[in-house]
């Protein structure tokens, strides 16, 4: 018998002072059986960083060659393709050809630096690519916020991100490695 996705619900309030974007979002996230809560929360952070009414979660781990989050214009053209994790160079090239903007939110403790070093040349060849990285401590702190029902407030200012629940606040500073 196949394992089913676990559903998480999040009432997310975003105050992005850098982009002058403010809003409330009632989100439903499906966590694939092989997905960790850390990855789920990094996807949620990616949504908060790029919050827009047209931004939607993709099919996730169950579908290769599809983004974790996607933003389309009214004609269906992909405006923004967002992946979390450490995608391979081929996937980045393909995404870059399909979307106007590609964003990768990389996490994974020590693996991130090696991945960035290995793909630095590819990053330079993809002008519509932005790579942001999180430290292991930051992604661990995000995972600690995970709950099946969440109410979170996200404030973004000067490159700093504060994600707060009723019990705790996590400060993140995603580092721009490309773009």
CATH number at residue 48: 3.10.640.10
On whether residue 1 sits in a domain, the answer given is no
pLDDT for 61 equals 61
On whether residue 153 sits in a domain, the answer given is yes
- What's the start-to-end Cα distance of the chain, in Å? 43
Encoded tokens for 78: 């992909």
Encoded tokens for 101: 């903007």
pLDDT 10s digit of each residue in the chain, 179 long?
Answer: 567 889 999 999 999 999 999 999 999 999 988 899 999 999 999 999 999 999 999 876 666 779 999 999 999 999 999 999 999 999 999 999 999 999 999 998 889 999 999 999 999 999 999 999 999 999 999 999 999 999 999 999 999 999 999 999 999 999 999 87
Rounded Cα distance, 83 and 106, in Å: 8
pLDDT for 109 equals 81
Assess contact for 10 and 119: CB atoms under 8 A.
no
**Single pTM value for the model:** 0.95
Encoded tokens for 109: 């403790």
Rounded Cα distance, 40 and 53, in Å: 20
Provide the CB-side half-sphere exposure for 87 (13 A, CA): 28
How many domains are there within the chain? 1
Q: Which element (helix H / strand E) includes 117?
A: helix 111-125
On whether residue 138 sits in a domain, the answer given is yes
Rounded Cα distance, 47 and 50, in Å: 5
In total, the chain counts a number of residues equal to: 179
* Main-chain phi, psi angles of 69, to 5 degrees: -140, 150
- The conformation of residue 46, written as its DSSP 8-state character, comes to H
- Radius of gyration for the alpha carbons in the chain, expressed in angstroms and rounded: 16
What residue numbers bound the domain in which 171 lies?
A: 6-178
Encoded tokens for 132: 């942001």
Encoded tokens for 108: 């994974």
On whether residue 144 sits in a domain, the answer given is yes
């Amino acid at each position: 018998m196949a394992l089913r996705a676990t559903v998480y619900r999040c009432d997310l309030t975003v105050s992005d002072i850098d982009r002058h974007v403010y809003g409330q979002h009632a989100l439903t996230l499906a966590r694939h059986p092989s997905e960790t809560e850390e990855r789920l929360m990094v996807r949620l952070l990616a949504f908060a960083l790029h919050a827009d009414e047209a931004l939607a979660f993709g099919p996730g781990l169950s579908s290769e060659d599809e983004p974790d989050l996607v933003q389309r214009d009214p004609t269906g053209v992909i405006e923004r393709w967002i992946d979390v994790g450490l995608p391979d160079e081929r996937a980045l090239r393909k995404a870059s050809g399909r979307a106007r903007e590609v964003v990768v939110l990389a996490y994974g403790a020590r693996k991130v630096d090696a991945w960035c070093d290995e793909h630095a040349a590819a990053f330079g060849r993809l002008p519509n690519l932005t790579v942001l990285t999180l430290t292991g401590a930051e992604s661990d702190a995000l995972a600690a916020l995970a709950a099946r029902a969440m109410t979170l407030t996200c404030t973004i200012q000067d490159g700093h991100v504060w994600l707060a629940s009723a019990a705790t606040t996590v400060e993140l500073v995603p580092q721009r490695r490309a773009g």
